[in-house]
C-alpha cells in the first residue's frame, strides 16, 4: 500500500489530497488464485484498476514445440483445471483438422456428452464459490455435492478426477465401461432434481440480489473491444455461442436441445443467471447424447495411428465453446512430429482484462462481487 499525492484546487485555493495505491494479491486467498490487482483509490472509490498477471506462467506454448502430438494433449489439459476435458478436446480437434481425419461417430457423441458434463462441473464450482465470496456459505456445500456425483461419473470413464486425459488424436482413449451410460443418466437426473436450490437459496436471496443487481454493468461494446466471451459476454446481450453458430462435434444435430442463455442487463446478477441456466441446458444436452448413443451400434471410438504421428505442413485454427468462453488453438506445422507453433487463445485472458473498464468508479466493497462474476481461472490467463 503506497500513497500518491495530488493537488486539487478549490474555492479557497490549493488543497492537497492523497490517493491510495492498493495491491490486492497475489497471495492465494485474496482472489481466485495468484492474480494481483493494482487499484488506485480515492477513499473507498476505485479510480484505476490494473490486473497484473503472469505469476503462474508455465511457458506451455513453448513446451508445445518440444512435445509430439500425443504429449501436447497432456500439457493443454491443465491451463483451465476446471475444464480439462474441453481443453484437451480443442487440441485434438486442431490436429485432426490438420490431418484431415474423420473421427468415428461413436467417439463424436461421447466427446459431446463428456464436454457437457465437464461444462456442468465447471459452472457448479462458480455457482457455489461466488455466493461464498459475498458471505453466503451454504451454496458451496450444495455445489460440491453435485460436483462429486458428476466427478464420480467422469472418474469411472477416464480414471481421472480433474485431468481426464481421455481424448486422443482420432477419438478417445477407449470406450466407456459396461453399464456406464445407465449410471451417467441416473446421476444427471439426480443433479438436475436438486438444481432448484440455487433458484431458491441464491437467486431468491434479497441480500445476494442487492449485492449483484446493477453492479459491474458490462456494456456490449466493451465485450467486443476486449474479446470477452462465454457467459460473461452473453450476460451483456452478445448472443454468440460456437456450439450453435459454428457447430462442431455433434452440436449440429442438437440444435433443438441447445438453448443459449442470454441476458441484457450485463451486471453481476445476469452473469450468475446465465451460468445457472447453462448448467440446466448442459444436463439436457448430456441426456440427448445418451439417447443417441443408445441408438448407435457398437463400433470403434478411435482411429489407428502410426507409431510416429506427423502433421502435414501448413497451419489451421480450431476453436471451441469452452465453459468459460471461446478457446482457440492456432497450429503451425512444418511436417514434423512436433508443432512448429501452437498458440493458445484462452477465454479467461480476455475476460479478466475487462476489469480495467469495470472497476473504476465502483466501491471497494463491490470489487469482490465484480471480480468473482467474471468467471476466470488464473492458470487459463497465464498459460
State the Cα–Cα distance between residues 369 and 271, nearest whole angstrom.
11
> Model pTM?
0.91
pLDDT of residue 27: 63
Q: Distance between CA atoms of 133 and 156, rounded to whole angstroms?
A: 32
**Cα dist. 150→60, 116, 145, 165, 185 in Å?**
28, 11, 9, 17, 11
Q: Report the SS3 class of residue 92.
A: helix
- Which among 156, 148, 239, 142 has a CA at the least distance from the CA of 197? 142
pLDDT by position in tens, the chain (length 383): 444 444 333 344 444 557 888 888 776 544 555 888 899 999 889 999 999 988 888 888 999 999 999 899 988 888 888 999 999 999 999 999 999 999 999 999 999 999 999 999 999 999 999 999 898 899 999 999 999 999 999 999 999 888 999 999 999 999 999 999 999 999 999 999 999 888 888 998 999 999 999 999 999 999 999 999 999 999 999 999 999 999 999 999 999 999 999 999 999 999 999 999 999 999 999 999 999 999 999 999 999 999 999 999 999 999 999 999 999 999 999 999 999 999 999 999 999 999 999 999 999 989 989 998 998 888 888 88
Cα-based distances in Å from 270 to 48, 70, 348, 372? 24, 40, 18, 13
Q: What is the pLDDT of residue 2?
A: 46
**Residue 383, pLDDT score:** 81
pLDDT of residue 30: 44
Let me know: does 273 contact 219? Beta carbons within 8 Å: no
**pLDDT for 7:** 37
Q: In the structure grid, which three cell numbers stand for residue 28, read together?
A: 492465494
Q: What are phi and psi of 186, to 5 degrees?
A: -65, -40
- How far is 120 from 190, CA to CA, in rounded Å? 13
> HSE-up of 53 (CA within 13 Å, CB side)?
20
Domain ranges, ordered by start, for the chain: 2-52, 60-382
For the record, the C-alpha cell of 173 comes out as 482413449
For residue 7, list its beta bridge partners: 16
Long-range contacts (CB closer than 8 Å, 24 or more residues apart) made by 329-332: 329/76, 329/90, 329/91, 329/93, 329/94, 331/94, 331/95, 331/98
3-state secondary structure of 262: coil
Cβ 129 vs Cβ 139: under 8 Å? no
CATH of 60-382, one of 3.40.710.10, 3.40.630.40, 1.10.645.10, 2.60.40.1760: 1.10.645.10
Amino acid at each position: 500500500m503506497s500513497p500518491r499525492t495530488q493537488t486539487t484546487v478549490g474555492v479557497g485555493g490549493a488543497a492537497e489530497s492523497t490517493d491510495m495505491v492498493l495491491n490486492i494479491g497475489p497471495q492465494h486467498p485474496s482472489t481466485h488464485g495468484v492474480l494481483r490487482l493494482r487499484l488506485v483509490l480515492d477513499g473507498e472509490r476505485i479510480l484505476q484498476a490494473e490486473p497484473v498477471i503472469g505469476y503462474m506462467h508455465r511457458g506451455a506454448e513453448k513446451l508445445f514445440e518440444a512435445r509430439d502430438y500425443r504429449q501436447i494433449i497432456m500439457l493443454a489439459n491443465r491451463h483451465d483445471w476446471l475444464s480439462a476435458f474441453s481443453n484437451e478436446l480443442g487440441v485434438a480437434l486442431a490436429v485432426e483438422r490438420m490431418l484431415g481425419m474423420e473421427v468415428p461417430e461413436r467417439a463424436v457423441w461421447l466427446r459431446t456428452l463428456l464436454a457437457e458434463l465437464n461444462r456442468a462441473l465447471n459452472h457448479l464450482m462458480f455457482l457455489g464459490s461466488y455466493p461464498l465470496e459475498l458471505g453466503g456459505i451454504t451454496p458451496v456445500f450444495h455445489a460440491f455435492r453435485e460436483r462429486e456425483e458428476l466427478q464420480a461419473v467422469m472418474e469411472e470413464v477416464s480414471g481421472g478426477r480433474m485431468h481426464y486425459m481421455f481424448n486422443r488424436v482420432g477419438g478417445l482413449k477407449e470406450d466407456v465401461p459396461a453399464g456406464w451410460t445407465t449410471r451417467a443418466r441416473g446421476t444427471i437426473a439426480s443433479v438436475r432434481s436438486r438444481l432448484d436450490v440455487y433458484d431458491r437459496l441464491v437467486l431468491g436471496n434479497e441480500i445476494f440480489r442487492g449485492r449483484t443487481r446493477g453492479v459491474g454493468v458490462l456494456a456490449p461494446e466493451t465485450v467486443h473491444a476486449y474479446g470477452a466471451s462465454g457467459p460473461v459476454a452473453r450476460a451483456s446481450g452478445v448472443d454468440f455461442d460456437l456450439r450453435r453458430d459454428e457447430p462442431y462435434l455433434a452440436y449440429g444435430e442438437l440444435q433443438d436441445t441447445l438453448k443459449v442463455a442470454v441476458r441484457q442487463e450485463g451486471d453481476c446478477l445476469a452473469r450468475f443467471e446465465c451460468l445457472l441456466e447453462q448448467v440446466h441446458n448442459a444436463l439436457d444436452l448430456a441426456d440427448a447424447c445418451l439417447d443417441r448413443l443408445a441408438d448407435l451400434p457398437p463400433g470403434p471410438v478411435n482411429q489407428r495411428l502410426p507409431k510416429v504421428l506427423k502433421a502435414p505442413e501448413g497451419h489451421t485454427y480450431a476453436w471451441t465453446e469452452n465453459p468459460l468462453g471461446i478457446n482457440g488453438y492456432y497450429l503451425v506445422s512444418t511436417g514434423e512430429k512436433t508443432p512448429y507453433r501452437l498458440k493458445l487463445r484462452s477465454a479467461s485472458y480476455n475476460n479478466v482484462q475487462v476489469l480495467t473498464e469495470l472497476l473504476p468508479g465502483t466501491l471497494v466493497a463491490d470489487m469482490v462481487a465484480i471480480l468473482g462474476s467474471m468467471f476466470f481461472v488464473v492458470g487459463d490467463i497465464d498459460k
